[in-house]
A and B are shown apart, each in its own frame.
Chain A
Amino acid sequence: MLNSFNQTPFLHGVITIGSLILLTIGLVGALTKKNLFKIFLSLAIAEASLFIYFIGMHFEVGKVAPIVTDEVTKFSLNMVDPVPQAMILTTIVIAIAVLSLALSFVINYFKLTNNMRVNQMDELGEGK
Chain B
Amino acid sequence: MSTLYFVVVPLLASFLTPFFKDYLRYISVALNLVLLVFALSFMGAEPIREYISFDSALSISFVLDSASLFFIVLFLVIMTLFSLYHLQEESRKDSFILTNMLLASVSGLVLSGDIFNIYIFFEIASITAYILTSLGKDKKAYSGAIRYMIIGTFASIFLLIAIMTIYLNIGSLNLATIAKEFSSINENSQFLIILSLFIGFGIKAEIFPLNFWVVDIYQASSNKVNALFSSILSKAYIFVFFHIAYMLHVNTKYLGFLAIIGAISFAISELSALSSKDLKRVFAYSTLGQIGVLFIALSSHSIDVVSGAIFLIALHSITKLMLFLSLDILEQKFKSTSVDIFKKFNSLFLVVIFAIGFLSLLGLPPFGGFIAKLTILKGLAGLQEYLLIGAILVISLIEAVYFFRLLGSTQSSQTKESVEVALLPKVLLSIMAIAIVYFGLFPDALLDISKSVATSLIGGADV
**CB–CB A30/B154 < 8 A:** yes
B window 58-73: CB within 8 A of A? 58
Q: Judge whether B363 is part of the interface by a CB distance below 8 angstroms.
A: no
Chain B residues within 8 Å of A27, by CB: 157
Chain A residues within 8 Å of B140, by CB: 123-124, 128
**CB–CB A83/B130 < 8 A:** no
Q: Judge whether B149 is part of the interface by a CB distance below 8 angstroms.
A: yes
Q: Judge whether A127 is part of the interface by a CB distance below 8 angstroms.
A: yes
A window 60-108: CB within 8 A of B? 83-84, 87, 90-91, 94, 97-98, 101-102, 105-106, 108
| Given A113-B139, A124-B140, also A101-B164 (CB < 8 A) | no
CA distance A57 to B143 in the complex (A): 38
| Given A50-B157, A50-B161, also A98-B143 (CB < 8 A) | no
Q: Judge whether B120 is part of the interface by a CB distance below 8 angstroms.
A: yes
Chain A residues within 8 Å of B51, by CB: none
Question: What are 15 A-to-B residue pairs whose CB atoms are below 8 Å?
Answer: A30-B154, A40-B149, A47-B153, A83-B58, A87-B163, A90-B120, A91-B119, A102-B153, A105-B134, A118-B150, A123-B143, A123-B144, A123-B220, A124-B143, A126-B281
Q: Judge whether A59 is part of the interface by a CB distance below 8 angstroms.
A: no
| Given A39-B150, A105-B146, also A124-B168 (CB < 8 A) | no
**CB–CB B277/A98 < 8 A:** no
Q: Judge whether B116 is part of the interface by a CB distance below 8 angstroms.
A: yes
Chain B residues within 8 Å of A53, by CB: 164
Chain B residues within 8 Å of A94, by CB: 120, 123
**CB–CB A112/B131 < 8 A:** no
Q: Judge whether B160 is part of the interface by a CB distance below 8 angstroms.
A: yes
| Given A50-B164, A54-B164, A101-B131, also A124-B153 (CB < 8 A) | no
By a beta-carbon cutoff of 8 Å, the part of chain B in contact with chain A is 58, 116, 119-120, 123, 126-127, 130-131, 134, 137-140, 142-147, 149-150, 153-154, 156-157, 160-161, 163-164, 167-168, 173, 216, 219-220, 275-278, 281
Chain A residues within 8 Å of B123, by CB: 94, 98
4 nearest A-B pairs in the assembled complex, by CB-CB distance: A109-B142, A124-B216, A123-B143, A43-B153
**CB–CB B142/A98 < 8 A:** no
CA distance A83 to B172 in the complex (A): 9
**CB–CB A47/B146 < 8 A:** no
* Chain B, interface SS category: helix
CA distance A124 to B130 in the complex (A): 16
Chain A residues within 8 Å of B281, by CB: 126
**CB–CB A121/B278 < 8 A:** no
**CB–CB B143/A126 < 8 A:** no
**CB–CB A124/B220 < 8 A:** yes
**CB–CB B144/A124 < 8 A:** yes
**CB–CB B142/A112 < 8 A:** yes
Closest to B148 in A: A105
**CB–CB B278/A127 < 8 A:** yes
CA distance A105 to B160 in the complex (A): 24
Chain A residues within 8 Å of B149, by CB: 40, 98, 101-102, 105
Chain A residues within 8 Å of B164, by CB: 50, 53-54
Chain A residues within 8 Å of B139, by CB: 109, 112-113, 123
**CB–CB A98/B153 < 8 A:** yes
CA distance A10 to B38 in the complex (A): 55
**CB–CB A125/B116 < 8 A:** no
**CB–CB A47/B157 < 8 A:** yes
CA distance A27 to B154 in the complex (A): 8
**CB–CB A109/B167 < 8 A:** no
A11 to chain B, nearest CB (A): 15
**CB–CB A121/B167 < 8 A:** no
List 5 additional contacts besides A40-B149, A112-B139; criterion CB under 8 Å. A54-B164, A57-B168, A94-B120, A123-B220, A127-B278
Chain A residues within 8 Å of B168, by CB: 54, 57
**CB–CB A126/B278 < 8 A:** yes
CA distance A128 to B144 in the complex (A): 13
CA distance A102 to B149 in the complex (A): 7
| Given A83-B167, A109-B139, also A127-B146 (CB < 8 A) | no
Closest to B152 in A: A98
CA distance A50 to B158 in the complex (A): 10
Closest to B57 in A: A83
A60 to chain B, nearest CB (A): 14
A window 109-123: CB within 8 A of B? 109, 112-113, 118, 121, 123
CA distance A14 to B144 in the complex (A): 39
CA distance A53 to B173 in the complex (A): 17
